[in-house]
Structure 1
């Protein structure tokens, strides 16, 4: 493992430790998704934003410039996050560091899962992972960063999460 890989893994693990909610319900999903959508509109990102609990979509926004492919990427990214309860960026780095791709060789079907960054778990203190926030439409690492920055802004603005 290189120093760069080790540093990136530490950064991604810190995101997972730092971005924990005190609570998360349907209203929070709407507020978080709306906050992220306003930023995407302001910055003219052609993205799709999705917040879901397994097959229950709590928030979805598809902005001009996003394509039908984004829906498929979101489905696969969020399935991976909800199965492993980690961000797809962290999983990508961990598996890459081991030289292993679980979507090859029959473990995870590539039709249903992907390690492409851009999906992040909604982890509630004392409850665990209850949802996934996923963005598709930017470069994969930018998708991840967009989600992280959105969750961070939401948590800083929500008094119950102080």
Structure 2
């Protein structure tokens, strides 16, 4: 999935989505960090007690990629690998600010454009991406 498209996106919806993802992680005995941004403001943030403090940086760097390219960070990673490119060499983006690893998906509102991101870190990057999809499919997307 390249992006999530909704009819509306509110802070309450971000809370509900974040809690759904955390609940699924608990059921799977997975330890994650999650951040949901709306209009460039953090509206939901959770970091499991077992994770290191650097997860904030991973969340931010993945979300920066999703925001810049307006598609999931996993899609960007795949596109870069397929084209034998890198964020630094091809786009002059610093690794301290951007990372092409799965786990961040941009949120679009129909007829409005991109309004936020939902980002997970703590698992393998493909699993970070997939837990978002698994938790939200059927109820929100």
Task: With the length of structure 2 as denominator, give the TM-score of the two structures.
Answer: 0.91
**Is 1:82 aligned with 2:58?**
no
* CA apart distance, 1:43: 1.8
8 Å contact from structure 2 (residues 65, 73) kept in 1: yes
For residue 98 of structure 2, what is the aligned residue in structure 1? 113
Greater relative contact order (Cα 8 A, min sep 6): structure 1 or 2?
2
8 Å contact from structure 2 (residues 33, 55) kept in 1: yes
For residue 125 of structure 1, what is the aligned residue in structure 2? 110
**Is 1:141 aligned with 2:126?**
yes
- Separation in structure 2 between the aligned mates of residue 20 and residue 105 of structure 1, nearest angstrom: 28
Q: 2:23 aligns with which of 26, 38, 46?
A: 38
- Separation in structure 1 between the aligned mates of residue 91 and residue 85 of structure 2, nearest angstrom: 12
- Separation in structure 1 between the aligned mates of residue 132 and residue 72 of structure 2, nearest angstrom: 10
Gaps of 5+ in 2: none
Runs of 4+ in 1 over 6 A off after TM superposition: none
**Over residues 115-151 of structure 1, what are the superposed CA-to-partner deviations in whole Å (9 max), with x where a residue is unaligned?**
0110001111111111110000000111011112223
* CA apart distance, 1:27: 0.7
How many residue pairs match? The answer is: 141
Q: Secondary structure at the match of 2:54?
A: helix
Q: Secondary structure at the match of 1:65?
A: coil
Kindly indicate which of the two structures has a greater share of residues assigned to helix: 1
**Is 1:98 aligned with 2:87?**
no
**Over residues 79-128 of structure 1, what are the superposed CA-to-partner deviations in whole Å (9 max), with x where a residue is unaligned?**
11111111000011111111000223671111100101100011111111
- Separation in structure 2 between the aligned mates of residue 23 and residue 54 of structure 1, nearest angstrom: 13
Q: Secondary structure at the match of 1:120?
A: strand
Task: With the length of structure 1 as denominator, give the TM-score of the two structures.
Answer: 0.80
RMSD in angstroms over aligned alpha carbons?
A: 1.7
* CA apart distance, 1:153: 4.0
Computing the radius of gyration from Cα coordinates, the structure with the larger value is 1
